[in-house]
Structures are given as C-alpha cells and as structure tokens.
A and B are shown apart, each in its own frame.
Chain A
Amino acid sequence: MAVLELQNISKHFGAIHAVSDVTLSLEPGEVVGLMGDNGAGKSTLVKMIAGNFRPSHGTMRLEGKELVMHRPVDARQHGIEIVHQDLALCDNLTAAANVYLGRELLIGFGPFGVLDYASMYQRAAQLFKELKSETRPRDLVKQMSGGQRQAVAIARTMLSKAKIVLMDEPTAAISVRQVAEVLHLIRLLRDQGIAIVLISHRMPDVFTVADRVIVMRRGRKVADKPIADSSPEEVTGLITGAIEKV
C-alpha cells in the first residue's frame, strides 16, 4: 500500500498557480527524485507535504487516511520528517542537542522536568553509529564538516519512526566525498522502509540513488517514471520543456 497519496493537489497564491493538479503516490522503502527548474513548484509541493502550506484543492492521504495539517509540527507527529536545505541546525549547540531540538527528553513530570542529558547522549550516539558517522554527541555543530552536519540533520529524522523523509537539496554545496556520504545515508534510510523524497538539481545524485523520478514544470507534473526507464537527457528535456510530457 502506498504510504502517501496526493490526489489532484493544487496550490494557488492569489492568481499564481504554484502547483496545479498534481497526483502522485509514495511507496515505503522507495527513493523518489523530485526534479524541476526553479519556480517549477517543487518546494511548494514539498511544503504542503511538510505541513507549511495547506493545499487549495485536492486531498492527501497517509496510509489511506486523509491527512490535514495546520502546522509543520503536525507533519512530524504523522511521521513525516524534513531535512531542510540549510539543515536547520543551531551552531551553538551540541550534536545531541540539535538531534533532539524541539523534542528534548525530560526526567520528572510536566513543567518540572529537567533535561535528560544521559539518555539524549546515549540515543544520539547510537544514531550516529547507525549512520556510520564519526560525529560525537557532545561535539558542537559549529566545528563540524558538511558531511557531519548532514548526519546530524538526518539523525534527527530517525528519532521517531518516520514513514516519509523529505530531503531538500541535501547535496548542494558540499564536497564530492561528502555527497557520497549523504547518498549512503539515504540508502540506509531506505533500507529501513522509509519513503524518501529527494529534491535535487543534481542529475547524477538522483540517477545514483533514486528508484523513480518525478519532474515538475510550471506547477504541473510532466513525468513520473522509474529511473531505469529514463535518462538524464530525457529528464533535462522535461525540465526545460524541450520534451513536453511523457
């Protein structure tokens, strides 16, 4: 069964049709590359799945149940995690603090709870180990490399049982070796049965790691096919509009 289904989703900002009539579905353990030029509607589409925007038309279903979200926090509660393009990390905090940001573990009851440092260090260390990252829980994010920062942002998505992870340009602006690390992390997530949407401009990354590619142009979905049946040339044509639709 599809973990997420979008049916005829549209988003209008006044007269601007950012996303028009998009229908798609995500299977568990599947990596979907979402491609398109700037302004094609990728981010708007993703922001609807992330709970930042509510669709103007259409419905979203999570595991068959209709999904209505009002705030980004709702998405997390439904098992939808986002790795933001800027990673949304606080440089002044430790790796563990960043992993647990917004959902810190407490000892004690209600308003009198104090931070449970030991458990948070413990769990964060486990996550970094699973990710085969050298990141240590007490390290300040300020002093980390791009790959380590990615690992912290990705570890965050593994805290709770995520069903879907949305990754916004995770390989932009990092070194070649770190790109390989990130693609490896994406595979690790996929192997846990998580559905991953990889938003990217980088053709090689999508063709390396994705199972399926979805191309957006001018707010519409113009392609949705297995990677094996497509080629970088075709996708480029679809993005620029040289190929109308497949």
Chain B
Amino acid sequence: MATTLDQTIAQKQHTWLTQIVSSQTFWVLIAVVLACIFLSMATDSFATSKNLYNITRNFTFVAIIALGMTMVIITGGIDLSVGSVLCLCSMVLAVTMHAGYSIEVGILASIGTALVIGAFNGFLIAYLGFPPFVVTLGMLSIARSLAMVASNNTVVFEFGPDHNLLLDLGGGAWLFGIANPVLYMLVLALLTGFVLRWTRFGRHIFAIGGNEHAATLTGVPVRPLKVAVYMISALSAGIAGIVQTGWLGAVTTNIGAGMELNVIAAAVIGGANLAGGVGTAFGALVGAALIEVIRNSLGLLGINAFWQGTFIGGAIILAVLFDRIRNFRQSD
C-alpha cells in the first residue's frame, strides 16, 4: 500500500518515548529525582520546606545564567565573562542606588552595562573574528576590575531610598511562598525555551552551531545573531546579578568569582554540546539543579566539603558519557 504524504510527514525517527529516553537531560533529571528521594530517606533535614526553599533559591542564579550560556553554546561559542559581568552589574546597581537614585534607574544602569559588555564581546567575536574563548577571558578580567573601580573595592550594603524594595525583589516570596528568584528563573526558562523552539531567531542559532558556513550561504544573518547571543548571555548575568544583590543585601567585588565554570557545567550536564548545535532551556535548569543537589547533599550527609569538586566534576563527565555512548551506538 502506498503511503500518503501525511504518513510520510508524521514519520519520525523516534517515538516520543525513545526520544525522551535517548536524551541526556532525561537521565540527569532521573539522577536529580533519585538523589532527592535518597536524601529524603537518608536524612531528616533534606525534605524540610526550609531546605528545599534554600536549594531552589541557590541554584536559580546559576540556572538563569545557564539559560543565556546555553544559547551561546548552541552557536558553538563560549562566554567565560559571566561571573565577572554578574559582579559588575551588581556593583553598578548597588553604587547607583547607594548614590540616591531610584531602583528603576539602578536596574536600567545595570542592564545597560550588561548589554554594552555583551555587544562588545559579540562585536569582537562576530565581526573581527576573535575566538570567543579569548575575548570573554579578557572580559572576565576587565569586568571584575571595573567593578572594583566602581566601588573602590568596598562592600556596598546601603541601597538608598529604595533599599527595602530591592531586598524584597530578590529575597521575597510573592507567590505561594516560592522564592522570587525561582519565579524569575521559571519565567526566563519558559521564554528561552519558547524562543529556541518556536522562533526564527532560535532556529537560526541552532543553524549557526550546526554549520556556520551553511547558515551564511543560506542567508542567515550570522554576525548580528552572534552579537545578539552574547548580549543575551551578558543580560542573563546582569539579571542574575540584580536578583542576587537583592537576595544577599550586600555586594562585594568577589561575588560570582568562578561562577562561569558552574554555569558552563550546568549547561553541559543539561545536554548542551560545546561543539555547538545542541542544547535546551530545560536542560540548563536540570543541570543547575543537579549541581546544587550534589552540593547540598554532601553537606547534609556530613561528607567533607573538600569532596564537592570531585562529585560535581564526576557528574559533568558522567553526563557527557551518556551522550558518547549514544553516539557510539548510532555510528555502529
């Protein structure tokens, strides 16, 4: 019997079940769930609402930036400057508000800073052909130094007339007792997921990561899009910085130090491929969650904190191992 056009169109290489089972994000999610079940039984302190509140809030900052990072990684790039950009944006917000300006002005200044830095990174990478690693490594150094210059390397903990509003923005729980940062993260994740799956912009950044030359030849505006993804990455760091400032209630020039590595780890654990062309918003959240659960559980189980790096590093390698095994199977 001849197949109709509709049957051909409906034909997929995987059913939804095999699709899910073959995805790295799924297995990482299983790992997170299993770890949570195990910890709830093994300790009294894990499944308390206070601890869960802490975990969800702690991983949001990494998760929010991992969303932006995932976009950069999908294009085949990398952004090492996010930790420092977070610090600079927090500091710009803090210094502006400390000087007596309203929270709106502070947030605008902070987000403006992030966008300028992202545009600078993106311009050098897209138009002048700099390697992303080098440009953002330079920016890692520059942004933190500028944060020190802006604050004269002091701790800022008084935020002018809108002090309480800022603390509430980052530290409050406006909806059903869910910490505000978690709400922001969920909204941003939904937005990112939508953009990646349903917009031309999303389709094009996957194309750039898959075959940049092909994207150029088919008329995809590769250079402007690359600038845009580095701006989004810096923006995600800026947003995380603003929220974190409100949560901590104080800014020092060492916040976000080394954070870029956690962010990249979260994206990669969640299934983003550093070679480009692969990644999801949901994966970024799951990856960030796994890292936080590992951190939290080691503390609760009374394991020496020095072991943390080993476990997180092991998780990175294990997560990518799944991907490798799948590829070996496919190439057979």
Contact indicator A114/B211 (Cβ below 8 Å): no
> Which chain B positions have C-beta within 8 A of A147?
none
Contact indicator A122/B9 (Cβ below 8 Å): yes
> Which chain A positions have C-beta within 8 A of B135?
none
Cβ of B300 < 8 Å from any Cβ of A?
no
Shortest Cβ distance from B25 into chain A, in angstroms?
16
How would residues 197 to 210 of chain B score, 1 for a CB under 8 Å from any chain A CB and 0 otherwise?
11110011011011
User: B interface, how many residues as a size bin?
Assistant: 20 to 34
Bound-state Cα–Cα, A73 to B217, Å: 8
Cβ of A102 < 8 Å from any Cβ of B?
yes
Residue among A88, A125, A139 making CB contact with B211, cutoff 8 Å: A88
Residues B1-16 near A (CB distance < 8 A): 5, 8-9, 11-13
Given A102-B219, A114-B199, A138-B11, the answer on whether A92 and B277 have CB atoms closer than 8 Å is yes
Bound-state Cα–Cα, A165 to B198, Å: 31
Bound-state Cα–Cα, A72 to B213, Å: 13
> Which chain A positions have C-beta within 8 A of B49?
none
How would residues 93 to 133 of chain A score, 1 for a CB under 8 Å from any chain B CB and 0 otherwise?
10001000111101000000111000001100110110000
Cβ of A91 < 8 Å from any Cβ of B?
yes
Contact indicator B13/A140 (Cβ below 8 Å): yes
Bound-state Cα–Cα, A137 to B11, Å: 8
Cβ of B108 < 8 Å from any Cβ of A?
no
Bound-state Cα–Cα, A121 to B220, Å: 20
Bound-state Cα–Cα, A103 to B206, Å: 15
How would residues 130 to 172 of chain A score, 1 for a CB under 8 Å from any chain B CB and 0 otherwise?
0000001111100100000000000010000000000000000
Contact indicator B217/A72 (Cβ below 8 Å): yes
Cβ of A90 < 8 Å from any Cβ of B?
yes
Cβ of A89 < 8 Å from any Cβ of B?
yes
Contact indicator B277/A91 (Cβ below 8 Å): yes
Residues B262-281 near A (CB distance < 8 A): 277-278
Given A73-B219, A137-B8, A138-B11, the answer on whether A86 and B213 have CB atoms closer than 8 Å is yes
Bound-state Cα–Cα, A113 to B198, Å: 9
> Which chain A positions have C-beta within 8 A of B200?
104, 106, 113, 115
Q: Smallest CB-CB separation from B219: which chain A residue?
A: A102
> Which chain A positions have C-beta within 8 A of B206?
90, 92-93
Cβ of A221 < 8 Å from any Cβ of B?
no
Residue among A93, A113, A122, A139 making CB contact with B13, cutoff 8 Å: A139
Cβ of A84 < 8 Å from any Cβ of B?
yes
Cβ of B298 < 8 Å from any Cβ of A?
no
> Which chain A positions have C-beta within 8 A of B197?
115
Contact indicator A101/B218 (Cβ below 8 Å): yes
Cβ of A76 < 8 Å from any Cβ of B?
yes
Given A90-B207, A91-B277, A92-B277, the answer on whether A102 and B9 have CB atoms closer than 8 Å is no
Bound-state Cα–Cα, A79 to B220, Å: 18
Residue among B203, B211, B277 making CB contact with A104, cutoff 8 Å: B203
Contact indicator A88/B213 (Cβ below 8 Å): yes
Identify which of B204, B210, B278, B330 gathers the most chain A CB atoms within 10 Å of its CB.
Answer: B210
> Which chain B positions have C-beta within 8 A of A89?
211, 214
Identify which of A84, A92, A136 gathers the most chain B CB atoms within 10 Å of its CB.
Answer: A92
Given A102-B220, A114-B199, the answer on whether A90 and B12 have CB atoms closer than 8 Å is no
Shortest Cβ distance from B30 into chain A, in angstroms?
24
Cβ of B215 < 8 Å from any Cβ of A?
yes
Q: Smallest CB-CB separation from A137: which chain B residue?
A: B9
How would residues 135 to 168 of chain B score, 1 for a CB under 8 Å from any chain A CB and 0 otherwise?
0000000000000000000000000000000000
CB pairs A–B below 8 angstroms (12 shown):
A86-B214, A88-B217, A89-B211, A91-B210, A91-B211, A93-B206, A101-B207, A102-B218, A104-B200, A104-B203, A125-B5, A129-B8
Q: Which residues of A contact B (CB under 8 A)?
A: 72-73, 76, 82, 84, 86-93, 97, 101-104, 106, 113-115, 121-122, 125-126, 128-129, 136-140, 143, 156
- Additional pairs, 13, CB under 8 Å, beyond known A88-B211, A115-B203: A76-B219, A84-B214, A88-B214, A90-B214, A92-B210, A97-B207, A101-B207, A101-B214, A113-B199, A114-B199, A125-B5, A125-B8, A140-B13
